[in-house]
């Protein structure tokens, strides 16, 4: 009996340990050493698609160590200390590094084998070589330019297996781009982003994407074009960005998420329509309608009039709803989609992640399939989140749902308040998330300022 009791206690102890490990599986820890900054406060921000979210803060103790702990799945982070910052990548549950002297000198030591060391090394090399190039006379210029190109070639030969090499290379300007006199041209944009791979998903998620777009806009004097309302040249620049980004849906999504807030307060309504049309051209199924019906729906997207959702019949639904008046909601997200469009399926998957983050805020998601064969919808919607409301309008683009929502392409995203008033429309899931955060006054910092 004593043996059985001991065995039972051992089993319980083992289970508790496993539960403890599982509970802390997502918790990450960072330890920073700095003799220079004793007593100083440091703040840690996660970076996701150019958005900064403060996740932890600490102070350097008398032993010169500061410890931070957080629960976040981000890959990139920004450490702010005494108005200076350091951006780095974390891949493990525990990371540590040492700051030697002032942070502005970027003299930071990560453990041996950590690729952040490699990134900081190559960036310091480029900084020194670029300064030499700027200060060189005619005789020295060619030699210094050759040294930069030699370093780029060395990194390029290694970049396929090292994120640090890819990032260091992507952050460099292409000197040859200066030879292209017309900065509004496609050729200039292509040269400018020569070392930036738009099909590199890790690079797109990183702060490097934001940095390079900022630098490009500064080079082409975009703010001046906005002030003079030069719609034609702005349109060319936007078209060039979509054109050089390798027609990869994720890169186009990132560009769209960056451009729309950039032009939000410019007063140039035509530009927002141009961005939407450029993105939709590559990543939606656009429908051809007769001129009267088509013009009416296009007018909605240009002017964003309200939508009447009341008393809208529901024919096929996974719940027991027969009319929109029966659906009670706080915040309602509607996505109109079709199986014929790959991007519709991408958006549905991303909405699943979004829903898990905002379900506690009583977010209701309603999907409207406009495939004319309801059997296709029945076979597919079972793979989607069963907590959502799934509807099919078998009359497709000419059905009542498409008419009320002014659908001209799929996917289309809408956000309504609890009185069924239209709050906003969105092109990407990231835009939709930002609008949800705005609605709930969530504190998200956008990193749109020059550093």
> What CATH number does residue 442 fall under?
3.40.30.10
Residues 211 and 294 in one domain: no
What mean pLDDT is predicted for residues 153-165?
83
Report which of 319, 211, 224, 278 is spatially closest to residue 428, judged by C-alpha positions. 278
In a domain, 440, yes or no: yes
Higher pLDDT, 304 or 183: 183
Which pLDDT value is given to residue 12? 47
Q: Whole-angstrom Cα distance, residue 159 to residue 122?
A: 12
Residues 270 and 292 in one domain: no
Per DSSP bridges, beta strands 27-33 and 316-317 are: unpaired
Give start and end residues of each alpha helix (H) in 171-246. Answer: 186-192, 201-205, 207-219, 222-227, 231-244
Q: How many CA atoms lie within 13 A of 451 on its CB side?
A: 18
Please state, rounded to an integer, the average pLDDT across all residues of the chain: 82
In a domain, 15, yes or no: no
Given a cut of 80, is residue 376 above it in pLDDT? no
Range of the domain at 275: 121-282
| Burial of 22 (C-beta count, 10 Å sphere; 0-12/13-18/19+) | exposed
Strand partners, 97: 32
Token couple for 84: 């200076």
Which pLDDT value is given to residue 34? 95
Residues 289 and 329 in one domain: yes
Residues 187 and 249 in one domain: yes
CA distances to 23, 44, 365, 370, 411 from 357, in Å: 18, 21, 13, 27, 21
Among 17-26, 64-73, 80-89, the range scoring the smallest mean pLDDT is: 17-26
In a domain, 116, yes or no: no
Which pLDDT value is given to residue 21? 45
Which pLDDT value is given to residue 57? 95
In a domain, 365, yes or no: yes
Q: Categorize the per-residue pLDDT at 94 as very low, low, confident or very high, splitting at 50, 70 and 90.
A: very high
Which pLDDT value is given to residue 72? 75
In a domain, 7, yes or no: no
Q: Whole-angstrom Cα distance, residue 444 to residue 52?
A: 7
In a domain, 349, yes or no: yes
Residues 318 and 277 in one domain: no
Residues 79 and 92 in one domain: yes
**Single residue among 58, 86, 111 that ends a domain in this structure:** 111
Among 46-55, 190-199, 273-282, 337-346, the range scoring the smallest mean pLDDT is: 273-282
Which pLDDT value is given to residue 13? 46
Residues 131 and 272 in one domain: yes
**Per the structure, how many domains does the chain have?**
3
Report which of 449, 364, 334, 403 is spatially closest to residue 78, judged by C-alpha positions. 449
Which pLDDT value is given to residue 194? 85
| Burial of 158 (C-beta count, 10 Å sphere; 0-12/13-18/19+) | middle
Residues 326 and 303 in one domain: yes
In a domain, 3, yes or no: no
CB 253 within 8 A of CB 428: yes
In a domain, 5, yes or no: no
**Single residue among 62, 80, 111 that ends a domain in this structure:** 111
**Single residue among 111, 130, 161 that ends a domain in this structure:** 111
Q: Whole-angstrom Cα distance, residue 407 to residue 415?
A: 15
413-440 per-position pLDDT tens digit: 999 988 888 888 888 888 888 889 888 8
Residues 93 and 38 in one domain: yes
* 232-235 own/partner pairs: CB under 8 Å, 24+ apart: 233/184, 234/268, 234/271, 235/271, 235/274
Model pTM score: 0.69
123-141 per-position pLDDT tens digit: 999 989 988 888 888 888 8
Which residues, in sequence order, are CB contacts of 31 under 8 Å at separation 6+?
65, 66, 67, 68, 94, 95, 96
162-171 per-position pLDDT tens digit: 899 999 998 8
Residues 274 and 293 in one domain: no
Which pLDDT value is given to residue 176? 62
The residue whose two tokens read 């300022």 is 449
Q: Whole-angstrom Cα distance, residue 41 to residue 54?
A: 14
Residues 185 and 257 in one domain: yes
Residues 220 and 339 in one domain: no
What mean pLDDT is predicted for residues 306-320?
87
């Amino acid at each position: 009996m004593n043996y059985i009791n001991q065995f039972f206690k051992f089993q319980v102890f083992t289970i508790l340990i496993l539960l403890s490990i599982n509970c802390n599986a997502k918790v990450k820890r960072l330890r920073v050493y700095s003799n220079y900054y004793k007593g100083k406060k440091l703040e840690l921000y996660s970076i996701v698609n150019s958005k900064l979210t403060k996740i932890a803060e600490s102070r350097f103790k008398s032993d010169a160590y500061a410890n931070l702990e957080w629960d976040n799945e981000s890959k990139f982070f920004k450490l702010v200390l005494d108005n200076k910052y350091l951006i780095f990548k974390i891949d493990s549950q525990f990371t540590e590094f040492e700051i030697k002297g002032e942070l502005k000198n970027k003299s930071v030591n990560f453990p041996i084998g950590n690729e952040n060391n490699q990134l900081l090394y190559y960036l310091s090399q480029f900084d020194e070589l670029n300064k030499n190039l700027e200060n060189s006379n005619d005789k020295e210029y060619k030699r210094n330019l050759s040294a930069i190109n030699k370093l780029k070639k060395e990194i390029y030969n290694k970049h396929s297996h090292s994120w640090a090499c890819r990032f260091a290379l992507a952050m460099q300007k292409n000197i040859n781009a200066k030879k292209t006199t017309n900065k509004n041209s496609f050729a200039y944009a292509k040269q400018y982003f020569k070392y930036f791979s738009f099909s590199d998903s890790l690079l797109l998620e990183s702060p490097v994407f934001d940095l390079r777009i900022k630098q490009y806009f500064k080079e082409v004097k975009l703010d001046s074009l906005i002030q003079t309302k030069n719609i034609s040249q702005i349109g060319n620049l936007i078209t060039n960005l979509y054109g050089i980004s390798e027609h990869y849906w994720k890169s186009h999504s990132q560009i769209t998420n960056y451009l729309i807030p950039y032009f939000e307060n410019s007063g140039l309504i035509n530009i927002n329509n141009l961005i939407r049309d450029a993105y939709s051209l590559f990543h939606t199924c656009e429908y051809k309608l007769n001129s009267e019906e088509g013009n009416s729906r296009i007018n909605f997207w240009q002017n964003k009039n309200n939508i009447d959702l009341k008393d809208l019949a529901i024919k096929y639904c996974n719940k027991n709803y027969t009319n929109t008046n029966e659906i009670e909601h706080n915040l309602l997200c509607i996505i109109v989609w079709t199986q014929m469009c790959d991007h519709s399926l991408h958006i549905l998957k991303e909405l699943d992640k979004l829903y898990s983050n905002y379900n506690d805020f009583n977010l209701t998601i309603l999907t409207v399939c406009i495939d004319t064969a309801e059997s296709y919808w029945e076979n597919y919607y079972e793979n989607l989140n069963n907590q959502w409301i799934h509807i099919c309008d078998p009359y497709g683009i000419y059905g009542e749902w498409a008419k009320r929502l002014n659908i001209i392409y799929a996917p289309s995203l809408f956000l309504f308040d609890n009185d069924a008033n239209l709050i906003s429309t969105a092109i990407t899931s990231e835009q939709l998330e930002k609008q949800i955060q705005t609605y709930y006054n969530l504190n998200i910092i956008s990193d749109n300022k020059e550093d």
